[in-house]
Structure 1
Amino acid sequence: MPKAVWNGTVLAESDRTEVVEGNHYFPIDSINKEYFKESSTHTSCPWKGQASYYSVEVDGQVNKDAAWYYPSTKEKAKNIEGYVAFWKGVKVES
């Protein structure tokens, strides 16, 4: 089962991930919300829509904007709407 790990801590774990462009997107109910803080960062993808970000905090260490999600996607990306993906050193293990 895929899991996202940073700083030795499991941030998310699910057997219902969606893989898009090589990234595992985790259902929102599979993330450990205690480690996530809303960020003011937003980016735009021409076919997915506007992404919002979370910073991840584990044991006092912050990984700024290490997770992103699309709260409302364009039609072709509906399968990942609300799902969370990771980068910036967060390892996704299967």
Structure 2
Amino acid sequence: MKAQLADGTVIAEAPESELIKIEGNWYFPPASVKEGHLEKTPTPYTCPWKGECQYFSVDGLQDRAWSYPTPYPTAFDRVGKDFSNYVAFWKEVSVVE
């Protein structure tokens, strides 16, 4: 599967078997995210069950990606897998096969 912008720029790519779906969002393994597209932002957010979130701008689009660098240990049980640093995308980034 690919995470891509409307102009076709691929931000991340991995087989579906390596992705994790959480609350309707596909999370890509950290190694599948192409370098140079994400920039950390200071936007604060803490999910009540996943933990502290890190937001990213995607090619200049503010807060269009996020990850959980150190999720709560109980979140692993809920998700069924360690999703530390996996990246999900929002709005202008489409996830396609």
Shared fold (TM-score, shorter chain, > 0.5): yes
In 2, distance between residues paired with 1:63 and 1:4? Answer: 14
Please, what TM-score do these two structures have when normalized by structure 1? Answer: 0.88
SS of equivalent residue, structure 1 residue 47: coil
- Structure 1 residue runs without a partner (length 5+): none
| Structure holding more strand per residue | 1
SS of the residue aligned with 1:73?
A: coil
Percent identical among aligned pairs is 42
Count of residues paired in the alignment: 89
What does 1:3-42 correspond to in 2, within 5 Å?
A: 3-6=2-5, 7-15=7-15, 16-42=18-44
RMSD: 1.1
Task: Tell me the distance in 1 between the aligned counterparts of 2:67 and 2:93.
Answer: 15
Moved over 6 A (4+): none
Shift in Å, 1:11: 0.2
Q: List aligned pairs for 1:1-94, cutoff 5 A.
A: 2-6=1-5, 7-15=7-15, 16-57=18-59, 62-78=60-76, 79-94=82-97
